[in-house]
């Protein structure tokens, strides 16, 4: 553990202390999280491998899935190694600059995932509501342009966050009650005025995540309206099955809002409960996404079975 001088406004390193109140069970808590992380990595790498080797999967939906998988892998690679290093080897020290990079990457991946969810919702909307024009509307160039817009848009919106954190003074302590560096956790230990940082985080969160979420819900509502008018039981069941699973993933993936709202309004929420929810967000949705998209998407599922020769593909 590095020494900390209270006169320093920028400590050379922060000290992560894990989950407050549950120090005695850290090693046991790490086991299920490690297993989920391995499933995340296996699922996302398998998804990327299956889509990459099959040119028939080079259309808009599967390309967006690839980008989602990459974002999930970055989140895992950013947060999990330090999490396991602390729980297994009691190595809670993280350098100041590395901490800021970790904050940026986690926020950035959450933001671009929101954009890709919106792009996939638009893709499904066109496929269901105007299927004859789907290939003409979502061409490879349009899909690529949407991807670049999401990536560069996320960079523009999230880049100020580490700079805002760097301008703050941390003269109270360098101890972070968390398993990795998180924006609001750093805000809490700052001894400077943080209203600008909080306001910017809130504005970006609601403008990007909030608008994306509203548009996603609207697109799925229009899809359901289309398949129910005129009614067709087979189409309705298939669409409800697909839309329901996708919406469950989207709702789970929007739990980062819990992070800011808990710090801002939930003063009576137990720290360990909050950290558990944040860790579950970081690990569980990526695993569930690969399972649902892999099993529910027949072309990916059949290709997976063919490559690994487990059983007969679905008809």
pLDDT score, position 1: 45
Which pLDDT band holds residue 147 (cuts at 50, 70, 90)?
very high
| Calpha distance 301→153 (Å, rounded) | 32
DSSP designation for 20: T
How high is the mean pLDDT of the chain? 79
DSSP class of 57: G
| 234-239 average pLDDT score | 65
Report the C-alpha gap between 121 and 138 in whole angstroms. 12
pLDDT, tens digit, 9 for 90 and up, residues 52-102 = 888 888 888 888 888 988 998 888 888 878 877 877 887 888 999 999 999
Cα gap 165→187, rounded to integer Å: 8
Alpha helices in the chain (DSSP H): 26-53, 60-89, 96-129, 134-137, 140-158, 160-167, 183-189, 195-204, 211-228, 233-253, 256-265, 271-296, 298-308
Residue 6 has pLDDT above 50, yes or no: no
> Phi, psi at residue 269, to the nearest 5°?
-75, 130
Task: Provide the token pair at 282.
Answer: 């970081």
State the Cα–Cα distance between residues 304 and 51, nearest whole angstrom: 9
Is the CB of residue 303 less than 8 Å from the CB of residue 267? no
Per-residue pLDDT tens over the stretch 306-315: 776 655 555 5
Structure confidence by residue, pLDDT tens digits, 95-106: 999 999 999 998
Measure CA 111 to chain center.
8
184 prior amide bond cis, ω within 30: no
Between the CA of residue 264 and those of 108, 139, 261, what are the distances in Å?
21, 43, 5
Pair of tokens at residue 117: 């969810």
pTM of structure = 0.82
Residue 222 has a CB neighbour count (10 Å cut-off) of 13
Residue 271's pLDDT is what?
A: 63
DSSP state of 174: -
What is the CA 110 to chain-centroid distance, rounded?
Answer: 4
């Amino acid at each position: 553990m590095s020494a900390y001088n209270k006169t320093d406004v920028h400590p050379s390193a922060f000290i992560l202390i894990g989950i407050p109140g549950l120090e005695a069970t850290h090693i046991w808590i790490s086991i299920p999280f490690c297993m989920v992380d391995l499933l995340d990595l296996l699922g996302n790498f398998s998804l990327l491998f299956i889509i990459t080797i099959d040119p028939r999967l080079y259309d808009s939906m599967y390309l967006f899935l690839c980008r989602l998988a990459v974002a999930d892998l970055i989140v895992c690679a950013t947060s999990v190694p330090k999490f396991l290093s602390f729980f297994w080897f009691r190595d809670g020290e993280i350098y100041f600059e590395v901490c800021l990079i970790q904050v940026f990457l986690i926020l950035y991946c959450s933001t671009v995932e929101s954009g890709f969810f919106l792009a996939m919702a638009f893709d499904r909307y066109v496929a269901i509501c105007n299927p004859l024009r789907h290939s003409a509307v979502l061409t490879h160039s349009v899909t690529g342009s949407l991807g670049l817009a999401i990536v560069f848009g996320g960079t523009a919106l999230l880049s100020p966050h580490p700079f805002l954190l760097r301008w703050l003074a941390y003269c109270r302590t360098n101890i972070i009650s968390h398993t990795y560096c998180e924006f609001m956790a750093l805000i809490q230990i700052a001894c400077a005025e943080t209203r600008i940082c909080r306001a910017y985080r809130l504005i970006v969160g609601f403008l990007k995540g909030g608008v994306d979420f509203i548009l996603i819900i609207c697109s799925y509502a229009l899809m359901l309206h289309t398949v129910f008018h005129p009614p067709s039981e087979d189409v309705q069941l298939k669409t409800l099955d697909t839309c329901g699973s996708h919406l469950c993933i989207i709702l789970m993936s929007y739990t980062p809002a819990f992070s800011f709202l808990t710090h801002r309004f939930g003063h009576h929420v137990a720290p360990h409960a909050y950290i558990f929810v944040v860790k579950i967000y970081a690990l569980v949705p990526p695993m569930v996404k690969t399972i649902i998209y892999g099993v529910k998407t027949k072309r990916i599922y059949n290709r997976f079975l063919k490559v690994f020769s487990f059983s007969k593909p679905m008809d």
